[in-house]
Amino acid sequence: MDAAASSSSSSSSAYFPRKYDIFLSFRGEDTRKTFTSHLHSALCKSGIRTYIDYELPRGDDISQSLIQAIEDSSISAVIFSKNYACSEWCLNELLKILECKEVQGQLVIPIFYQVDPSHVRHQKGTYQEAFEEHFAQNPGKVKQWKHALFETANLAGWDSRIYRDEPELIENIVNDVQQKINPSYPSSLMRLVGIDENCNEVERLLEKVPIIGIWGMGGIGKTTMAKALFTKLSFKFESSCFLENVREEVEKQGLTYVRNNLLFELLKEENFPHRPPNVASNASVMRRLSCKKVFIVLDDVSSWKQLEYLAPYYEYLGPGSKVIITARHKQLLVIAGVNAIHEARPLSAHKSVELFNLKAFRSYNPKIGYESLSRRVVHYAKGIPLVLVVLGSFLRSKTPKEWDSALSKLKKSPNEDILQGKNM
């Protein structure tokens, strides 16, 4: 199952360089020479700067050096093992980790190693036994520790019990950590000319409000923009889901399927190892959502009915959650009551030329003899990215005569026909 992480509401904090990529919190007697050692080795081999406390802790209060190490880490991985709760040192360490999560946006990944996550969440089994002893010896801290365990165990994490073997689990954890410390656009988005013209404005809006609507005609780049932002920012959330082509998926699969797909992606934890046939209308689902900081994109929503079926879940999302809705019609977003609306604008003339040339000539400049023809295509496209991409790909390697013939046909065709592959 995919792990996810949390951050504070401050989007900038996650980008400050830290001394360590990840801090490992664990009960030494349980896993120091086994799972934790193997995980530490795998992280280091992958070039991930990992802090591990090699000193066996003495006493119950964590040291200043350990506090500093936690603060200097971008991520904390908490390895819950059978006897984790027996250690006041571990429990105090967890309090500090959650403080850093809240104050400086540290990402927190729980790892349930050979222990039932519900035992951690609700202090059952060995965790209950440990707290019976804590209550007798240190009753003042018990409430804080219990809350810390509940909060951390409610984050999306990794459950060792559902994996075939330990190496598979460790490989998935390492891959997930790498993605979280190296947020970037995927290679398919890297060379999309002009994407920042719209993305930067939407990202600024997301820093201020929780729900953003993006509207504009087909082909203007709404989905591409949303994908870029989702790829760039989703690592900062505990769970995330990009529902692409909502309109098309609803037509094919139905509203219930789309809703359940959304909930499954947000809740694929230890209790949802497989896609359920129906996870809606469940009080526990709503409770779990309220504990999560999530990022949702609903792409190409086309009717109020679709939003009405999905929107009720917004109110259950945890603090700091963000939602992006893309649609062709502004009025739909107004009715939905989003906090801010961004109109996807066409590319500037300069960016249009750049994008078209990259597709048609694989260069920023047109071939000799094609300059005038290129300007005609760009003028026809009116800054719509998908039209530029489709025409550039279609005209690539064709002769000037073939270009002129195609352009003569384009004069009689609206952009919508080009997007549907007509008259080409």
> If you average pLDDT over every residue of the chain, what do you get?
81
DSSP 62: P
Please tell me the predicted confidence (pLDDT) of residue 99: 92
| Last residue within a domain, chosen from 164, 181, 198 | 181
Examine the domain organization and report whether 162 and 25 are in the same domain.
yes
Q: Is 272 in the same domain as 294?
A: yes
**Is residue 158 domain-shared with residue 241, that is, in the same domain?**
no
371 is known as an active-site residue: no
Burial class (CB within 10 angstroms; exposed 0-12, middle 13-18, buried 19+) of 105: buried
pLDDT tens digits, residue range 192-225?
566 676 788 888 898 899 999 999 988 888 988 8
Note whether 165 and 75 are same-domain residues. Answer: yes
Residue 401, in any domain of the structure? yes
310: nearest Cα among 302, 217, 4, 207: 302
Instruction: Looking at the structure, tell me whether residues 299 and 210 fall in a common domain.
Output: yes
**In a domain? residue 7:** no
E runs forming strands in 150-200: 158-159
Answer whether residue 1 is part of any domain: no
The residue assigned the tokens 């219930």 is: 256
> Does residue 5 lie within any of the structural domains?
no
Q: Which two tokens stand for residue 334?
A: 């107004």
CA-to-CA separations, 45 to 158, 358, 388, 414, in angstroms, rounded = 21, 38, 44, 55
* Residue 171: domain span: 13-181
Encode pLDDT of 48-79 as tens digits.
Answer: 889 998 755 555 567 788 898 999 898 999 99
Answer whether residue 299 is part of any domain. Answer: yes
Cα separation, 186 vs 84, in Å, equals 38
DSSP 19: S
**At 375, which CATH number?**
1.10.8
Residue 294 lies inside a defined structural domain of this protein: yes
Q: How confident is the model at residue 270 (pLDDT cuts 50, 70, 90)?
A: very low
Please report the sign of the dihedral spanned by the C-alpha atoms of residue 320, residue 326, residue 331, residue 332. negative
Same domain (yes/no): 271, 302: yes
Cα-Cα-Cα-Cα torsion 112, 50, 103, 235, nearest 10 degrees, comes to -70
Same domain, 195 and 317: yes
Residue 241 has pLDDT above 70, yes or no: yes
- 325 and 360 housed in the same domain: no
**pLDDT surpasses 60 at 91:** yes
CATH number at residue 128: 3.40.50.10140
Q: What is the pLDDT of residue 114?
A: 93
**Which DSSP state fits 398?**
-
**By the 8 A CB rule, do 81 and 30 touch?**
yes
Q: Is residue 29 part of a domain?
A: yes
pLDDT confidence bin for 6, thresholds 50/70/90: very low
Please tell me whether the overall predicted TM-score, pTM, comes out greater than 0.85 for this model: no
Top pLDDT among 291 and 223 is at 223
Supply 406's token pair: 């195609």
In this structure, the answer to whether residues 46 and 125 fall within a common structural domain is yes
Q: Do residues 126 and 257 both lie within one domain?
A: no
Mean pLDDT of 170-178: 90
* Of the residues 136, 155, 181, the one at which a domain ends: 181
Which is the catalytic residue, given 29, 55, 88, 93? 93
Q: Are residues 260 and 115 in the same domain?
A: no
Residue 279 lies in a domain: yes
The rounded Cα 64 to chain-centroid distance in angstroms is 33
Which single residue is written with the structure tokens 């000319």?
193
Averaged pLDDT for residues 326-343 = 91
- Identify the band that residue 237 occupies on the pLDDT scale cut at 50, 70 and 90: confident
Q: What pLDDT does residue 127 have?
A: 93
In this structure, what CATH number is given to the domain that contains residue 215? 3.40.50.300
Answer yes or no: are the C-beta atoms of 357 and 365 closer than 8 Å: yes
Q: Which amino acid is at 323?
A: V
Q: Structurally, how many domains does the chain consist of? A: 3
Among 320, 343, 366, residue at a domain's last position: 343
Say yes or no: 170 and 29 in one domain: yes
